[in-house]
Structure 1
Amino acid sequence: MSYLSFHLVFLVPPILGMMALHRRPRQMGNDLRVDLAIPVVCLIALTYTTPWDNYLVAQEVWWYGANRVVGTIGYVPVEEYMFFVLQPFLTGLFLYQYLHRSPPVPKAHSSWASWTGAAVFAGLTGLGAFFLMDGRPSTLYLALILVWAPPILAGMWLYDGETLWALRSSVFVTTGLPTLYLWGADTVAIRSKIWTIAPEYTVGASFLGLPLEEALFFLFTNLLVVQGILLFLYGSHKAFAPEKETRLSIP
């Protein structure tokens, strides 16, 4: 299986299916943010991930199989750049399907949520920084993930953790299910040698058959997508409230 075939099998069909059955989140009406949220997150994902992933490949933390890609830009296969866009579309469209069927409901305001969520992800960032300074090859991939994704997640919770906590059930479901799906797809890709994770740069632990680092990568990236879209749609700095109480407008 080539990297392009991987996209055509695992990513393109569900994306096209959800686009054909496209549903807008309830309570949002014709709000322009619904149309902008996924493309904006895709653009951010492409911009933020490109230098990080190029560094990983340059350091041979992972590499792609011979004759499995159509070409490279920098160190990274063209299909990898496609993945930076396809994954947010996949997860974002799933989130919209969920928000249409299970619209958010008001939750009690939790003033501690922002600081607690930010502290958790800041702690993970600190752990990654420690691993980098320690310099052990076996923790390199884990360290690079922890200093890349958790700082942004911490910033999201610091920015408006009240809203994210109010929408926690949406975060849990729409992060969890796409992550499980992508874990399965990643397992197939590794076994097919579309890409290979360097064992010397991993801690050696596995989760559901995947290297721990790969499992964390898909968990964190889907969290970034889901939380980013939810903040784009509902961020208010005062937790989610019904549309009739908070008709939000684009700043």
Structure 2
Amino acid sequence: MTGPTYLQFHLAFLLPAMMLMVATAFVSRTRMSAAVDPFTGRGYWSGVAIITVVALVYTTPWDNYLIAAGVWSYGEGSTLATLGYAPVEEYLFILVQPWLTALWLSHLSLPSEWPPVRGPIRTRLAALALAAILGAGGWQLLARSETFYLGAILAWAAPVLALQWVVGAPQLWARRRLVTLGTLVPTTYLCVADRVAIEYGIWILSERYTTGLTVAGLPVEEATFFLVTNLFVVQGLVLYRWVVSRFGAADDPTVGPESDAGAIDPESP
């Protein structure tokens, strides 16, 4: 292969983006002072580490299965070595993406207070129903070869979304602008990077298992993948902060228990 390799993709797109996020975080005195805070500093990065491990464990079997099934492949000479069916650079990508997204999210105004929210049970049930619809739709799409990849993404994503939404849909909805901005920026960047990688043949999607629909030349399946994976990370970190805050409040005798009764729906992130 005469084109760029998967490792060069990491060096060209992921490493510079992470270095930029780290550099801009340390420029801000506010961010530097936050590094000692148990929620935005060590506690935050502990959450990132946990989410990274979960992402690797949950994604590895799915990723290997799709590669073995021929949903996508890699250009000749574009990878260094293979572990299972996936190249080592693929595992590196799984490990790096949560940190890249987390670095971006750390630049935003993470919530320090968690006001009670209205209708928590109703919100959770509605979110669970949405996750069930996505999962059922994904399983239906698996039945046709041309929608197999899209169906695999939705069926794989639905259990994670269901769990996150059942645990904290009201809190996520109350911070929806934070979740949206935290998700869409890294998703857009990774979609652009993915489009370049496909153009140079670093990885090749099967025409048999994809719809052929594209957005600016990027297959909709790839855009969907980056959207849901970044949503996993952002929602996971917001909920991790919420859980840690609740436990901290429970240990503080001056802070009363959180109640959802008669609450308002906060809008500010």
TM interval, shorter chain, is 0.7 to 0.9
Matched, 1:64 2:67: no
| Alignment counterpart, residue 228 of structure 1, candidates 227, 230, 236 | 236
Q: Deviations over 1:39-95 (max 9, x none)?
A: 111111111100100001100100011111111101101100000011101001111
Give 2:55's aligned residue: 45
In structure 2, the CA distance between the partners of 1:24 and 1:57, relative to structure 1 (3 Å rule), is farther
Q: Is the 8 A contact 1:129 1:143 kept in 2?
A: yes
Residue 156 of structure 2: SS of its match in structure 1? Answer: coil
Q: Is the 8 A contact 1:104 1:167 kept in 2?
A: no
C-alpha distance in structure 2 between counterparts of 1:165 and 1:64, whole Å: 39
Q: Deviations over 1:182-226 (max 9, x none)?
A: 110000000010001101101121123211111100000000011
Matched, 1:113 2:123: yes
Q: Rg larger in 1 or in 2?
A: 2
| Alignment counterpart, residue 210 of structure 2, candidates 195, 199, 202 | 202
Matched, 1:6 2:17: no
In structure 2, the CA distance between the partners of 1:84 and 1:171, relative to structure 1 (3 Å rule), is same
TM-score (norm 2): 0.82
* Runs of 5+ unmatched residues, structure 2: 259-269
Structure 2 counterparts to residues 5-154 of structure 1, below 5 A: 5-20=8-23, 21-22=25-26, 23=31, 29-31=37-39, 32-99=42-109, 106=115, 108-111=117-120, 112-132=122-142, 135-154=143-162
In structure 2, the CA distance between the partners of 1:59 and 1:24, relative to structure 1 (3 Å rule), is farther
Matched, 1:168 2:176: yes
TM-score (norm 1): 0.87
Which amino acid letter does the alignment assign opposite residue 203 of structure 1? Answer: T
In structure 2, the CA distance between the partners of 1:67 and 1:104, relative to structure 1 (3 Å rule), is farther
Give 2:266's aligned residue: none
- The percent identity for this pair of structures is 40
Which amino acid letter does the alignment assign opposite residue 42 of structure 1? Answer: T
Distance apart, 1:247 and its partner CA: 9.8
Q: Deviations over 1:101-151 (max 9, x none)?
A: x8677474342321222211210100011222xx22111101111110122
C-alpha distance in structure 1 between counterparts of 2:257 and 2:232, whole Å: 25
* Runs of 5+ unmatched residues, structure 1: none
Which amino acid letter does the alignment assign opposite residue 18 of structure 2? Answer: I
Distance apart, 1:162 and its partner CA: 1.3
How many residue pairs align between the two structures? 242
C-alpha distance in structure 2 between counterparts of 1:190 and 1:25, whole Å: 41
